[in-house]
Structure formats: structure tokens, C-alpha cells
Chains A and B, each alone.
Chain A
């Protein structure tokens, strides 16, 4: 809570709830903790299909949430959840989650697929998904050690066209076959 809010809360304190004097807005931790029942404590998922979001890029989390909220990005449940928050709340929780440790889980994957995925990554993806997907550039996501089942679901959504892409991403992704997308998913899942 900023100093301004504290000041406002103090000013209006008498008009607030009778039972307890309450600060003006939910804190970032208050907002983000509620996500942990699905995504894990501090956004570190235990898998196998629920994505890890703690330690992800703040821009990527906020963009995902706003996409879920508007319906731009396909979702089973996140659309219904994201609509519950203002853009300011989304920004606050995204920053909080981004400040947590990224707990990537290097999963066992098919060695030949991983090698093929690495090759495809180097040719197509590494300009935004830096360091084999361990780091990010702007709104690109961290992918290294993300859960394989989740990556596969996302690849399906890209391939079917239900998840939209930026032009620069589409340019690369459109050329890739289903099998190549699977190789990429396995490569990222195998990274730590």
C-alpha cells in the first residue's frame, strides 16, 4: 500500500466498516495468494498440466490476464477468474508474482525430440525466448522447465488458431508442423 492510500484510509477510517478499520485496497500479496490453490504457493506449480506463473515476466502475466479478461485468449477457467479484477489489480498481482522465484522443473523427455527442439529453438525462437527459454525479452514468457502438458496444450491452441499470436511470432510458428511444435515443447520442458 502506498503512503497516499494509508493517508486516505486514515482519513476515511471512521466511515469504513464498523467491525474493523480496513485499509483501502487489497495488497498485491492478498490478490496473488488466492491464485496459489491452483498454481501453487507463490505460483510454483507441482504440475503436471497447471502452469507455473511465479517468477514469470510481469508483462507476460499481465498480458495473459488481460487477454483472458477480454476473451482474446482462450481459456477453460481463467476467463471467468480474470474478469474479477481491475487492470490496476492485475498489474499489482503480476508484479508480485513476477518477483517470486521461478521454479522450473527439468522433466525427462525423449532425447531425439529434445535435440530436434533445440535446433528449432535456435533457428526460430531464441531472439525472444532468451537462454534456451530461461530468460525473456519484453512480453515473451519464460519457458524453461514449464510443465510439458501445459506447453502441449498451448502448442495445440496455437496450431488450431484458437490462441492468437503477434505477427512476429506467427511468422515463425506458422511454418512449424505439429511434430515440430511437440519437439519444442519437449525441449523447453527438459530445461531447468
Chain B
């Protein structure tokens, strides 16, 4: 807590003690630390300052500046997963994909609070953090993913990721994986374990294999990559990835479908598919996934206990009123778990949160997803789709979308601008 916030906090405790007490009555879940910032007008709280949350916060402010927006994010900086595979390959640096939050505050008046949300009290409309509680009129939750470590025998959530990085949340994990590749001997084996769908970024593991191979080809050409995939085949852009691997990395990448890793041993650097144990010099285990911890804790996940069911137009939780879930954590019909989807969902959600708060009808969804994947440092492919709501579900518009006809340097040129634009959109 900064000094200013601490002062506000005491002011509130003194001045509005009666109100705070009334608000807490019948809500024993809320911690007794009290309200962190006094709510003076209508307020939207956003949890998570990533691909979805930054955009939701900014677009609520852009469409109705009379609504106060508080963005709660645990980290001071955000490192993008998109293009983190290029950091692993070596053609981008981590600084190229790191953004801060100061301009969201100065340009749009978004109030940014760096705290971890530990609980949500849907009844009292409060978010709980170690620094105090925050009241809201509507809450937008975009916390990303969590891991189902418990499904991997031998996985120690503390020790395993430093030996066998997942690098499926970017930052330190990305750097560990890159360093391990740099330290590996020529002729070594890197393993990538891909979980069952749905997981964050369907083409991500195959782009990662391509970027590892791009690095090996220059620095350690005798090395190999084995993809152990829980799914039967490459889950996205399969034909294009295989074409690119054949063109650039013949014999270097071995794809094994229906090879679900069920057991890991980070001391032996081995993974087990139940049929065979395989050892690697670098082992990138991507664990199976679910919505982030806070979504589980707050009871926002559905019967599958993994993902959050939402209304297809407003992204309001079908479980908890007044709480909207966007991004990877939610079930968004045909929209995949991607950064572009999260960006698009955030804008739909923001417009409709504003509509609902102003007593207006929700506006029908129109959304886009595009995912670029790099085969080398200079060639990329993409998949695109346009979305609408039909029969209460998000569906892709027929006749639109699809994948690139071929590997393309022009698409790579546009993709480099895409990452720049989307990160600028999130941070200014």
C-alpha cells in the first residue's frame, strides 16, 4: 500500500465507519481491513491487467467517463505471451513485449491498484485484497489461466517449473526456458509436452517448436525437438506448421500425437506418457489448464470446475450477477483462448457494462480473432475469424476467416506491427 492509499484508507475508516459497517453486515467473507478507496460515484472494478483487463478498463472509461474504473493487477509490469516464443527463439527481447500501466492512468483516468485479489464477495459487491476491500457496481474479471498441476504425477508446483519451465505465463518462465536452450549442448533433445484442449493459445506449442528449431538450426544444428501431444494431431494450422517444418527444419522436429504426459520427474528430467519414459536436456512441460485461481475461489467456474460460463453478449457470469468474466478464463463459444479474442471480448463487455449501468439494452456482439504464428524469424502464418451471436451462442460468421494460404514474409511484417499495436492499445 502506498502512503497516499494508506491515508485514504484511514480517512475512510474514520469518516465513513457507519457506512462501512452497514455494507459489511451479513457479509462475513469480507476481511475487516475496510474499504481501500472511498467510492464516490458509480464504479467498475477490473481484476487482471493483461490482454482482457487493460482493454476493458480503458474502453469503459472511453465510452462513459462518468464511471470510475479501478484496475487491480498484482504485477507492476505485464509481459506478453504473444511473441514470447520469439524471445525463446532469440529474435525478440523480453523488453520488447513488456508494458506498464502509467499511461492508462494518465490518459484515461483508470485507477491502477497493484494488489492481488484474494476473494470476491458477490453479495456485498466487494473485491478483497491484502490492502483492503474495493466496492464495485459491476466487476470485470480477466485473470487468465491457472494450471491443473494435480493431474501430473510427481509435479511439484514450486520446484518443477524452475527445472522444467512451462513458460505459459510470460516473464521469468520465458527467460528460464531461453537460458536452458542457450546452455544446452549441440546434439541435445528438447521436449515440449502439450496438454489436452482447451488450453491458452492453440497454435502456441507449435510456434514454440518452430522457434526452438530456428535457434537450434543456427546454434546447435545436431539437436532435436520432440513434441509429446495429448491431442491426436497439431491442434491449429496443422498443415502450415508441417509445411514450415519440412521446409526449414527437416528431421529436426518429431511430432507424436496421442502422447499425453501423465507423470514428470524434474530430478531425472524425464516425462512419462504411461507407455514410455522419455528424457530430455530441456523439458518444456505445459500443464493442463483451467481458469485462474481467483475464478475458482470465487466460485465462478461451471460444472466442469475449470472455466467460467457467461452470457454470450454481456459476458456476465451465469453464476454470479454483476460479475463479468472475459479472456481465457471464460467460455466464449467459438472464440479461442487468445490475446486477440480477449481484446475483442473486453471491448464487447465494456460497451455492454456501460449500457447496463445506464439502463440500456445490451448491444449484440461483433468480435474478431486473429493469431499470427512465426515459423522462422521472417515467415509467419495466421488464422482469422469474425464472430457474432446466434441462438445465444458465439459462433464464427460463415464464409469468413480461415488460415493463410502459405508461409509469408509479408504476414510476418504485419504481425510485427500487430504486436506493437495491440501492446500500445493496452498501455496508452
Contact = CB atoms under 8 A, between A and B. Distances in A.
B402 A21 contact: no
A66 B175 CA distance: 44
Interface stretch (B35-43, B217-225, B298-306, B406-414): B406-414
B382 interface: yes
A36 B311 contact: no
A40 B424 contact: yes
Contacts of B312: 17, 19
A6 B97 CA distance: 43
Contacts of B414: 38, 49-50, 76-77
A83 B402 CA distance: 11
B417 A50 contact: yes
B367 interface: yes
B361 interface: yes
Given A38-B422, A48-B420, A26 B365 contact: yes
Contacts of B366: 26, 30-31, 34, 89
A83 B384 CA distance: 11
B421 A77 contact: no
A25 B313 CA distance: 12
B400 interface: yes
Contacts of A23: 361-364
B349 to A, nearest CB: 11
Given A80-B384, A80-B400, A85-B386, A35 B368 contact: yes
Contact of B363 (A18, A26, A34): A26
A17 B389 CA distance: 10
Interface in A61-117: 76-77, 80-85, 89
Contacts of B115: none
A153 B409 CA distance: 12
B174 interface: no
A17 B313 contact: yes
Given A19-B311, A22-B362, A37-B425, A76 B418 contact: no
A149 interface: yes
Interface in B342-360: 343-344, 347-348, 351
Give the one of B344, B366, B404, B422 with max A CB within 10 A: B366
B274 interface: no
B59 interface: yes
Contacts of B392: 17-19
Interface string A38-51: 11110001111110
B68 to A, nearest CB: 20
A19 B63 CA distance: 24
Contacts of B425: 36-37, 40-41, 46
Interface residues of B, number: 52
A45 B362 CA distance: 29
Interface string B385-402: 110110010000101111
Contacts of A19: 311-313, 316, 318, 392
A26 to B, nearest CB: 4
Nearest to A76: B411
Taking chain A's interface residues, is the majority helix, strand, or loop, or is none over half, making it mixed?
Answer: loop
Nearest to B391: A17
B314 interface: yes
Contacts of B361: 9, 21-23
B180 interface: no
A33 to B, nearest CB: 4
Contact of B348 (A24, A30, A81): A30
A84 B400 contact: yes
Nearest to A86: B397
Nearest to B356: A20
A173 B58 CA distance: 43
B203 to A, nearest CB: 15
A160 to B, nearest CB: 12
Contact of B351 (A27, A35, A39): A27
Contact of A24 (B347, B364, B399, B421): B364
A20 B370 contact: no
Contacts of B388: 26
Contact of B399 (A30, A76, A83): A83
Nearest to B428: A41
A29 interface: yes
B340 interface: yes
Given A21-B361, A27-B363, A37 B344 contact: yes
A25 B367 CA distance: 13
B297 interface: no
B416 interface: yes
27 contacts: A19-B311, A19-B312, A19-B392, A20-B311, A20-B362, A26-B366, A30-B347, A33-B59, A33-B344, A33-B347, A33-B351, A34-B386, A36-B343, A38-B370, A38-B417, A38-B422, A39-B421, A46-B421, A46-B424, A50-B420, A77-B370, A80-B400, A81-B401, A82-B400, A83-B397, A84-B385, A153-B410
Given A31-B366, A47-B421, A84-B368, 9 more contacts: A1-B363, A17-B392, A18-B392, A37-B425, A39-B421, A46-B425, A76-B414, A84-B400, A85-B400
